[in-house]
Chain A
Amino acid sequence: TEACLRACPAACTCSHVERGCSVRCDRAGLQRVPQEFPCEAASIDLDRNGLRILGERAFGTLPSLRRLSLRHNNLSFITPGAFKGLPRLAELRLAHNGELRYLHVRTFAALGRLRRLDLAACRLFSVPERLLAELPALRELTAFDNLFRRVPGALRGLANLTHAHFERSRIEAVASGSLLGMRRLRSLSLQANRVRAVHAGAFGDCGALEDLLLNDNLLATLPAAAFRGLRRLRTLNLGGNALGSVARAWFSDLAELELLYLDRNSITFVEEGAFQNLSGLLALHLNGNRLTVLSWAAFQPGFFLGRLFLFRNPWRCDCQLEWLRDWMEGSGRVADVACASPGSVAGQDLSQVVFERSSDGLCVDPDELNFTTSSPGPSPEPVATTVSRFSSLLSKLLAPRAPVEEVANTTWELVNVSLNDSFRSHAVMVFCYKATFLFTSCVLLSLAQYVVVGLQRE
């Protein structure tokens, strides 16, 4: 305890906490690493300083050091062997060193116990294939906000890595060899990259994968075998892509899947049986697509009992969706299915649509209206769809007259507005006389012409 405080560097504060000696040198304006740290130091925080270069054995020998944080510095070069003498280092944070860009293959040599490595926002664009090869204990790698453009080859063969975060790193593809040998990977986040292609079998070695986040990429389609072998997958996020349809084969292996996000795509069609093996699904997100119809067959043969998010789709509420309406009523786990068509029910929620029955008990589709585009307003009672169709047709035909009536009313008021406005009404009066006069003179002229003809004849 005493030693921790005694050897504290000038710019730092040292304290003995539960986990050992903690040295805090953050925001101290340091341009170089202090010469000496307490030998007992378990945690050193050098965040937000001006460190530029880490030389060899930059921290000396600190046998107890478990956590070292160097975020928000100006590190441009880390000399190979800089972290030598830190045999128990478990967590190394190098995030937000925007000048780093490149790491030597031997940078992390001798960190045999490193479990967590944070390389976020270091503008890394390429890392040596074997950068992480000497980190057998590495479990978590955080590397979002970089410029990789492809899944770093350094990941290959990291058999102990469980979590990999590669958000917003401009990655364009997940190739078949990208994730080879990552047998313990449980969580992989590739969200908000530029992934256009996922090769068949790309996740073939990742049998332990539980969470796969591919949302907010540029995927327009997926190979049938894209997720083959992911038998433990619980979350699959494909939201915010450009998928146009959902193929039957994609999710066939994902028996454990609990959450499936397909929101914010351009999905117009879901193949029959696409969700058929997803019996454990807790929530299916299909909101924000272009779905007009969702076939019950997509879920067959199993029963889907989870939540279904379907809002923001142009649903066509005809008899093909009757199952869904019944299911909404029964389960209460679906809401907000706003109908965009047919015309007689447009604007309503599917739960309010009443499907009529023909004499032989078959469902009758709600009526289409010819003028739906011009009147998206609330339609009349769904029960009387035929009547409503007629009435709205009538109102269509009568529509152009409505404003005229208004005009007429205002004119009437104008006249009644009385004294102050009398001049205006005089003007109107004059206008009326003018019209009458013109009309009369027209009649007279034509008559006169006829008379002339008659006279000629005579």
Chain B
Amino acid sequence: TCPSQCSCEYHGRHDGSGSRLVLCNDLDMNEVPANFPVDTSKLRIEKTVVRRLPAEAFYYLVELQYLWLAYNSVASIETSSFYNLRQLHELRLDGNSLTAFPWVSLLDMPHLRTLDLHNNRIASVPNEAVRYLRNLTCLDLSSNRLTTLPPDFLDSWSHLAVTPSRSPDFPPRRIILGLQDNPWFCDCHISKVIELSKVTDHAVVLLDPLMVCSEPERFQGILFQRVELEKCLKPSVMMSATKITSALGSNVLLRCDAKGHPTPQLTWTRSDGSTVNYTVIQESPGEGIRWSIISLTSISHKDAGDYRCKAKNLAGISEAVVTVTVVGGVTTTLSPDSSERSPGEPPEQHPQPGLGGSTPPSKSWLSPGLTSAPSYPTPSAALYTSTWSPPPSSLPPIFSAASATTSVQTSISGRTARTSHQPPLLHPGGKSNAKIEKNGRKFPPLSASKKEELALLDQAAPMETNVTIKDLRVARETGVSVTLMWNSSSSTQESSVTVLYSKYGEKDLLLVNADDYGKNQATINGLEPGSQYVACVCPKGVGPREDLCITFSTNRVEGRGSQWSLLLVVTSTACVIVVPLICFLLYKVCKLQCTSDPFWEEDLSKETYIQFETLSPRSQSIGELWTRRHRDDGERLLLCSQSSVDSQMNLKSDGCRTEYYG
């Protein structure tokens, strides 16, 4: 039998074998017919108005080898449309209206070699498609609407490149790819395809190597062969230190710089594969460059080990390792790297100015880790490390002595470095130029605007100023305002300084209203409670400098916390006093009961019973609940989750404690 709008031919051969060809090219056919001859080996449905291929449309054609569905109006294909086509070699769907192809259906066609999707409306090939393409030897995606391809697209056939042709009889296996006539966006995503179009004699051959970029504008209309993309650079991660030895309890910053094109992504992992739980700050100061810092606060022995910084982009992966060793005791060891740091080198972690002298507000011990977010883009650079000591307030006295020494040292180096020193968050890229010259390495040139900005800053920062500001500190802080104080060595008026502040982590600096200035002090209003801010005091006409900045956090949580701890103290004191009292009273009651006469005892027990009942008036209903529990699973689940809340609570409080003491 043959479907009424089709013609079915049988081509017999002399040896008795043969093949059934079915051709349906009726212009009026609007759905895939049922009842094709089951021995059909080649089915052509062409130039019809068939719009969809239903699920399992051909499952009974177990001998089908060629399925040509060219020049119809097929717009949708089900995932299971090609179910059971185990013998299929060729699937041609050219000239349809497909916007997507169910790539997973290639699993139903293990023998498929040719997939022709030429002249459709396919706009993208999803990432997961790549894993199904392996067995194809011809894939034609030409004349579609593709702008890019998945990064691993060409890797589908990487096995072909490594397999040498075993014998001269078999020509080396090749995959033929039709990708021409698509609106390609020529960037690193398709850099491998672009490279492919420039070479010949490859395991992957392009059907038509004359492919043209449509975007970006500068490549519009340009042949792939002539496109010189900005280097699609595999990321490189460099480091100046591979080992850091630090004292127990000190704070350590690990910095990882990577460059590559496109801008790489950075991830930190521990040697055991776990992720790093510490603060990770990342920034990409420019195209192709990214740095990342983890700050390990108050390191303990469990923080020792390898820290791996992995950079990944479309072009590849690279990584660097730094080993952190934690030594016991209280001496602070500066890493060799930071001790020999030159003035041009960015940011050793400065302790708060005046750390050794006037103690910063007790809660601001958190802030060194935050001020330490240097955004120096120093592309060459490396894994910076710096060690600084925690504040004296949270450490035993002997330690604070040691840390005081350290802070003196660093502040000295800070002075010497002052001329070229830029505070971190404010001038990204500030040191790039110097760095480049100094190291004599090649880096992607900074954009013009960046350069201008730098120049301006350089001019704005005079070598000397007659105003010296020291001892910047937070005098008073509330939820929404904070008062800063400093000592000024100059005799000029207070208006000769500017106070700038920003929310921590943001780059935009806000100017404090002049009204709020006092003599050597300024009040910043309108802050958000419970947030962290960076404030800088700068002499007029001078850019903010790192050593004149302070990080503080506005009150809220701390205040609440102390309130609560007060309550705790009160309650525990109450406990301490009340519990022995209760015990004593209980003892009395017992004694009374033991010594009293039977009648009295009976009465007592009755009363006690009543009392207990009033104490737990719901005992009966609880009993009910428990009996119901056995009847009803849902009820049981409820109870389960209830108990789970409890356990969650326990863990949480554990965690709190860790943080509190950590």
Contacts and interface: CB of A to CB of B under 8 A. Distances in A.
Interface stretch (B97-105, B396-404, B564-572): B564-572
A411 B586 contact: no
User: DSSP class of A's interface residues: helix, strand, loop or mixed?
Assistant: helix
B32 to A, nearest CB: 12
Nearest to A454: B589
A283 B656 contact: no
Contact of B604 (A96, A309, A449, A457): A457
A447 B578 contact: yes
B38 A422 contact: no
Nearest to B504: A420
Interface stretch (A195-203, A297-305, A346-354, A401-409): A401-409
A95 B4 CA distance: 12
B637 interface: yes
A390 interface: no
A437 B35 contact: no
A418 interface: yes
B641 interface: yes
B581 A213 contact: no
B4 A417 contact: no
B295 A418 contact: yes
B658 A191 contact: no
Contacts of B557: 423, 426-427, 430
Contacts of A327: none
Contact of A435 (B1, B366, B653): B653
Nearest to A401: B644
**B34, B530, B648 — most chain A CB neighbours (10 Å):** B34
Contacts of B651: 408, 411-412
B561 interface: yes
Interface string A133-164: 00000000010100000000000000000000
B564 A283 contact: no
Nearest to A235: B1
A323 interface: no
B585 A451 contact: yes
A444 B589 contact: no
Contact of A454 (B34, B571, B586): B586
B279 A417 contact: yes
B640 A401 contact: yes
A42 interface: no
Given A187-B1, A191-B35, A239-B34, A408 B648 contact: yes
Interface in B607-662: 607-608, 611, 615, 637, 640-641, 644-645, 647-649, 651-653, 655-656, 658-660
Contacts of A450: 582, 586, 615
A165 B279 contact: no
A425 B575 contact: no
B637 A400 contact: yes
A451 B582 contact: yes
Among B35, B278, B564, B648, residue most surrounded by chain A Cβ atoms (within 10 Å): B35
Nearest to B505: A420
B658 A415 contact: yes
A408 B1 contact: no
A307 interface: yes
B552 to A, nearest CB: 13
B1 A454 contact: no
Interface string B148-161: 00000000000000
B560 interface: yes
A444 B571 contact: yes
Interface residues of A, number: 73
Contact of B588 (A187, A441, A458): A458
B59 interface: yes
A435 B567 contact: no
A211 interface: yes
B659 A425 contact: yes
Interface residues of B, number: 64
A365 B567 CA distance: 65
Given A235-B1, A259-B38, A422-B366, A444 B574 contact: yes
Interface string A355-376: 0000000000000000000000
Contacts of B370: 419-420
B277 interface: yes
Contacts of A96: 28
B38 A413 contact: no
A96 B649 CA distance: 76
B390 to A, nearest CB: 13
A383 interface: no
A431 B653 CA distance: 8
Given A419-B279, A437-B564, A454-B585, A426 B558 contact: yes
B353 interface: no
B62 interface: yes
Nearest to A421: B279
A282 interface: yes
A453 interface: yes
A240 B34 CA distance: 11
Contacts of B653: 432, 435-436
Contacts of B648: 404, 407-408, 411
Contacts of A411: 648, 651-652, 655
Contacts of B645: 404
A429 interface: yes
Nearest to A407: B648
Interface string A282-294: 1101011000000
Contacts of B641: 400, 404
Contacts of B83: 311
B517 interface: no
A437 B571 contact: yes
A420 B640 CA distance: 34
B460 interface: no
Nearest to A282: B38
Contact of B575 (A282, A283, A444): A444
Contact of B1 (A213, A412, A414, A441): A213
A436 B568 contact: yes
B605 to A, nearest CB: 11
B197 to A, nearest CB: 43
Interface in B539-583: 553, 557-558, 560-561, 564-565, 567-568, 571-572, 574-575, 578-579, 581-582
A205 B1 CA distance: 20
Contacts of B579: 447
B68 interface: no
B351 interface: no
Interface in B368-383: 369-370
Interface in B298-351: none
B387 interface: no
B652 to A, nearest CB: 5
Contacts of A43: none
A449 B586 CA distance: 12
B297 interface: yes
Interface string B31-67: 0001100100000000000000000100110100000
24 contacts: A95-B28, A189-B1, A189-B4, A216-B34, A239-B34, A404-B645, A407-B648, A413-B277, A414-B655, A418-B277, A418-B295, A420-B370, A426-B558, A430-B560, A432-B649, A433-B568, A437-B567, A440-B572, A441-B571, A444-B575, A450-B586, A453-B608, A457-B592, A457-B607
Interface of B: 1, 4, 28, 34-35, 38, 56, 59-60, 62, 83, 277-279, 295, 297, 366, 369-370, 505, 530, 553, 557-558, 560-561, 564-565, 567-568, 571-572, 574-575, 578-579, 581-582, 585-586, 588-589, 592, 604, 607-608, 611, 615, 637, 640-641, 644-645, 647-649, 651-653, 655-656, 658-660
Pick the 9 closest A-B CB pairs, nearest first: A429-B656, A416-B277, A432-B653, A404-B644, A415-B655, A211-B1, A426-B557, A454-B589, A408-B651
Given A235-B35, A411-B655, A429-B656, 19 more contacts: A165-B4, A283-B38, A403-B644, A404-B645, A404-B647, A408-B652, A411-B648, A412-B655, A417-B279, A425-B659, A429-B561, A429-B659, A430-B557, A430-B561, A433-B565, A435-B653, A437-B571, A440-B571, A444-B575
